Amino acid sequence: MLHRQANDRRADCLAGVAAFKSVLLEGVEVVFIVIAVGAAHGQTLYASLGALAAFVLVMLIGLALHRPLARVPEKALKFVVGLMLTSFGIFWTDAHWPGDDLALLAIFAIVALASFAIVRWLHSAYPAAIGGLAR
pLDDT of 80 strictly over 90: yes
The answer to whether 47 touches 31, Cβ cutoff 8 Å, is no
Pairwise pLDDT comparison (86 vs 123), residue with the higher score: 86
Residue 129: predicted pLDDT: 60
Express each pLDDT in 6-65 by its tens digit: 566 666 788 788 888 888 888 888 888 888 988 888 888 988 898 889 889 989 998 999
The answer to whether 132 touches 104, Cβ cutoff 8 Å, is no
Alpha-carbon span 124 to 118, nearest angstrom = 10
Residue 70: predicted pLDDT: 86
Pairwise pLDDT comparison (3 vs 122), residue with the higher score: 122
Alpha-carbon span 116 to 111, nearest angstrom = 9
